[in-house]
Structures are given as C-alpha cells and as structure tokens.
Amino acid sequence: MNVATSIGKVDYDGLIPNNVGLGEDVRVKRALEKWHPGYIDWWKDMGPEGFQESLVYLRTAVSVDPKGWAKFDYVKMPDYKWGILLAPQAEGRTIPFGAHAGEPAWQEVPGEYRAMLRRLIVIQGDTEPASVEQQRHLGKTAPSLYDMRNLFQVNVEEGRHLWAMVYLLQKYFGTDGREEAEALLQRRSGDADSPRMLGAFNEKTPDWLSFFMFTYFTDRDGKMQLEALAQSGFDPLSRTCRFMLTEEAHHMFVGETGVTRVIQRTCEAMKEAGIADPFDIARVRKLGVIDLPTIQKKANLHFSLTLDLFGNEISTNAANAFHAGLKGRYRENRLDDDHRLEQSTYPVLRLIDGHIQNENAPALSALNMRLRDDYVNDANVGVGRWNKVIESFGIPFEIKLPHVAFNRHIGEFAKIKADTGGTVLSDPDWARRRSEFLPNDADRDFIESLMQPQYEPGKFASWIAPPKVGIDNRPGEFEYVKIA
C-alpha cells in the first residue's frame, strides 16, 4: 500500500505560506506574487462588508498534519495568511480508476487531457470566491459574535481554496492558466454580464437561515466534488483536494449545527408557550422564532438548487473525466469493482413518457447521477439529527428532503414541475401551490424582520439557541470578533 512520505514543511516566512517549495520555484512564486494584489483588491471589494478592520478569532492552517494543523488567533481578515497547502505525497501512488488505472499517478499534466483538467480546476475554483461574494452582507445581521466568527472562518477558507486552485493553474498551465487565474477574480456572483459559472453560486444568500442551509447543502456538494477530485490521477490535484476536505468539514459543521440551533430554539419557544401544533404559524412567529414549516421550505429550496450542481444525469463530460483518470467517484478507493466501468450499468432516475422511473444506463455516463445519489444519502444523515431534536420536544413534525425531481433547472426534471413528493404537477397547479413548497414573500419578510444583529459577547438573537461548546473550547462570553 501507499506509504505517506514525511509531511512537507510549511514555509511561513514569505508572503505566501506554503509547503510546495515555492521558495525554489521562482517562476510560480513570481506569478503568484503578481496575482496577490488583485486577490486582496477582490477581497476588500467583495469580501465581508464592514468588518475588514475587525479582529476575528480565526484558525489558520499551519501544517497538514491531521493531528494538529491549525492555530487560532485574532487577525484582521485582509492580513489572513492564505497559504498553499497540499496533503503529503503518497509514495508509489497509482491512478486509481479509468483507462490508466494502475499506472503511476501523474506529477505533470498529461498533455492529451490538458483542456479537460484545466476546466475541472477552473469550475471548482470559481465556486470558492462565489460563496464569499454571496455571503458578504451577512456580518451586518449576525445573530452573535460566535456566528459571525464562523461566517468569516468559512469565508477566509473559501479564499484559501481559491488560492489552492490558482496555484495549480499558475504552476501547471502556463499562459492560459494565468488568464484563468485572472478571470477567477473578474467574475461576480449574480452579475448579469459576468456571472459565476454555476447557477447555485449566483443565487442570493439573503439571511442567516439561508447561510446555514447553504453551508449544509451547498458546501456538501463541494465536499462531494472534492472527494471525487481527491481521487484524481493528477496527483497535485488529489493532494490539494485532500487537504481542502479537512477545512470543508467545518463548513458543514457550521451549517448542520446552525440549523440544529434554529430548530432547537423554535421547539423550546413553542414548548414554553404551550403551542403543540407546528402549523400554527402565526402564533409561533409571534414568539420571535422561525416556524418549522418555513425551515422545511428553506431546506427544499437549498437542496433543490444544490442538486442542479451535479449536472445532467447522463453526461459525456463525466464519463470522459472518469475514463481519463481525472475525476473519480465518491470514495473510489473504498469501492470494490473494476474501477473502469466499461461494462457496467447504473440505475438512473429518468422521465419516461411523463413518468419518473429508473432506467439502467451505462455506468460511465451515469457518474453524475451516482455522485448525486451519494450526496443525497450523505445529506440525509444530518436531517435525521435535526428530526431527533424535534422529536425530543414531542412536536409532531419531520423535516424531509424533497424528491430529486422537485424544483429542478438542470437535467431530466428541468422540463417538468413536481411537488416535494415527486408527483408531476401541471403548470397552473404548480403556480397555485408553489408557496406550499418554497419560501414566499411573506416568509422572506418575516425572516428578514428577525435578522437583527446581536453583537454582545455571549448573547444570541431570539431565533437561535447558543452552541453546545465554543470554538477552540472558548467560554460562552468569549469575544470572537472585536468589531472595529
């Protein structure tokens, strides 16, 4: 089996902390130093609005040792050390799947797959700054300093993920890599002329429940994509993604615990007020908490937008990337088959004569579908934990992920309207019933009315419970952000 070599030493002295030997790589070092001012300009323009001078208690990656890779300290975000950190090279690593399975992993870009590889890196890279842009207004309505700090932590790490992808572009793709690195700073989430590349990354994140849903559902798509790219036969990409996954776990933690705390507070308030019916929305809202049916609608929205990120169920691009050995399956190394998939099939949910049903497709073409299935399973785990909280209060309500055909804009189900149970609806029925499933203006107005900042250390807004433990084991009243 693969034996990890010693963990690359992190050089913290230069402008760009790294464990890739940048000091000896003059060409790439210069290219990144040239890119750096544009990045800082982007961060100041499009990063967290109004808090650039504040001191934030952030973790910074200082090593890639799984036993202790982060240090916590106060830092102004523009001074954050955005480093380039790759997981250690595994000696003798081979390409785990596809037509080249078993051959030594590539340390340089395989010429025949250059364009495909660059495209994969650019698409991943584009999502990272996009989410920072989407979340840039949220500091102003943070429900606590604890939450504000978590938001900024996610934001600086998405910034580091952009660095991670830009390093690959600058190091391995010459002039076109440099152009792509520039373009990553030019596109803007939601911009009419120059939007981000993927739909969900051009939506708004208008409030904190959206933020928690986004980090739960959409950062989890990030996890799935990174897991698939961590399998890549192009070793530098694999190593980069493996380390990014360590950080990504915290983003989903923020999402899962955020939604849990919202649910917890709602249930507590209902119990205190003696409200047993979760659908007594007007009375629940009077308590200054978010009713469970509205939380369900937000989940419906963010889950369905995220499913679109997996692309078409049947996809030649996905087949080509796998065949080439560039993008694998979720935890490819734990799967027990030939890792080539040329002869196998996979059941794909399709729309056949207006009915939603499974149909076997060539496994190679069905890789997006397969990754999406893995995603849905993974997303369901945390939903189960949310329901445990509701159940512990004896409230008859269960959060359910909607059917995969619900509210889709890409793939098999983009051409139909379906309810959350997967029943196909006529256009008029959809129009009439839409706000049963998705937040309507009144829901949005209500949530917006709750978004009042709470900046006092240890205090929380009315609609969210405090966390069980602090970040870095800090006590409840800890001042996670010193607002300047």
Cα distance between residue 345 and residue 362, in whole Å: 4
Least Cβ distance, residue 97 to Fe ion (angstroms): 24
Segment contacting Fe ion by CB under 5 A, of 97-105, 218-226, 377-385, 400-408: 218-226
Name the CA radius of gyration of the chain, rounded: 23
State yes or no: residue 219 binds Fe ion (CB under 5 A): yes
Our CB check for Fe ion shows the closer of 95 and 120 to be 120
Our CB check for Fe ion shows the closer of 17 and 98 to be 17
Site map 121..140 versus Fe ion, x via CB under 5 A: -------x------------
Cα distance between residue 327 and residue 7, in whole Å: 25
The answer to whether 347 and 340 are in contact (CB under 8 A) is: no
* Count of other CB atoms within 10 angstroms of residue 354: 7
Least Cβ distance, residue 457 to Fe ion (angstroms): 26
Our CB check for Fe ion shows the closer of 252 and 390 to be 252
Our CB check for Fe ion shows the closer of 222 and 411 to be 222
Task: Cite the DSSP H helix spans in 173-234.
Answer: 174-186, 208-213, 219-230
Token reading at 254? 């923020």
Token reading at 113? 């797959």
Cα distance between residue 198 and residue 41, in whole Å: 23
Our CB check for Fe ion shows the closer of 222 and 311 to be 222
Our CB check for Fe ion shows the closer of 139 and 411 to be 139
**Site for Fe ion (CB under 5 A): how many residues?**
7
Cα distance between residue 156 and residue 138, in whole Å: 14
Least Cβ distance, residue 109 to Fe ion (angstroms): 22
Our CB check for Fe ion shows the closer of 211 and 460 to be 211
Least Cβ distance, residue 249 to Fe ion (angstroms): 9
Handedness of CA 32, 38, 42, 45 (dihedral sign): positive
Our CB check for Fe ion shows the closer of 122 and 418 to be 122
Least Cβ distance, residue 221 to Fe ion (angstroms): 9
Least Cβ distance, residue 380 to Fe ion (angstroms): 20
* Subset of residues 139 to 158 that bind Fe ion, contact rule: CB under 5 A: 158
Our CB check for Fe ion shows the closer of 219 and 291 to be 219
* Count of other CB atoms within 10 angstroms of residue 180: 21
State yes or no: residue 443 binds Fe ion (CB under 5 A): no
The answer to whether 360 and 345 are in contact (CB under 8 A) is: yes
DSSP conformation class of 232: -
Phi, psi of 343 (to 5 degrees): -105, -10
Least Cβ distance, residue 184 to Fe ion (angstroms): 13
Least Cβ distance, residue 131 to Fe ion (angstroms): 7
Segment contacting Fe ion by CB under 5 A, of 180-188, 194-202, 243-251, 445-453: 243-251
State yes or no: residue 297 binds Fe ion (CB under 5 A): no
Our CB check for Fe ion shows the closer of 146 and 217 to be 217
Our CB check for Fe ion shows the closer of 128 and 313 to be 128
At CB < 8 A and 24+ separation, what contacts does 280-284 make? Answer: none
**Between the CA of residue 307 and those of 4, 355, 401, 449, what are the distances in Å?**
35, 20, 11, 29
Least Cβ distance, residue 154 to Fe ion (angstroms): 6
DSSP conformation class of 140: G
Least Cβ distance, residue 160 to Fe ion (angstroms): 8
Least Cβ distance, residue 251 to Fe ion (angstroms): 4
Token reading at 158? 């998405």
Please identify which residue in 160, 250, 251, 297 interacts with Fe ion, judged by CB under 5 A: 251
Cα distance between residue 248 and residue 244, in whole Å: 6
By CB atoms closer than 10 A (0-12, 13-18, 19+), residue 159 is buried
* Subset of residues 222 to 241 that bind Fe ion, contact rule: CB under 5 A: 222
From start to end of 195-261, where are the E strands?
Answer: none
Please provide the DSSP assignment of 378-442 as one string: HHHHHHHHHHHHHHHTT------PPPTTTT-SSSTTTTSEE-TTS-EE-HHHHHHHHHHHS--HH
Please identify which residue in 29, 160, 161, 372 interacts with Fe ion, judged by CB under 5 A: 161
Least Cβ distance, residue 222 to Fe ion (angstroms): 5
Our CB check for Fe ion shows the closer of 128 and 227 to be 128
Report the alpha-carbon angle 347-309-305, nearest 5: 105
Interface ranges with Fe ion (CB under 5 A) = 128, 158, 161, 219, 222, 248, 251
